[in-house]
Amino acid sequence: MRIQIQLAIDGETKKTDVLEIAEYKLGEMTDDEIEQAIEVKIRTWVDRMVQVEWEVIDE
């Protein structure tokens, strides 16, 4: 299974990618379980791609 995803910031696409889940890993999963597996795969991708840095500049 291939899943195309896009990361957009302020409405502008910054990154696109295609994630893959091997069909044999999906096996006998229900549709809900497959959806959960896709969400986990996407969250893992986002965790790797997105970093937010901040600092206090005025107190």
Q: Which H or E element spans position 24?
A: helix 23-26
Instruction: Please state, in angstroms and rounded to a whole number, the distance separating the CA atoms of residues 2 and 50.
Output: 21
Instruction: Please state, in angstroms and rounded to a whole number, the distance separating the CA atoms of residues 48 and 31.
Output: 26
pTM: 0.80
Are 45 and 27 within 8 A, CB to CB?
A: no
The string of pLDDT tens digits covering residues 1-59 is 999 999 999 999 999 999 999 999 888 999 999 999 999 999 999 999 999 999 999 98
Report the greatest alpha carbon distance in the chain: 56
What pLDDT score was predicted for residue 59? 83
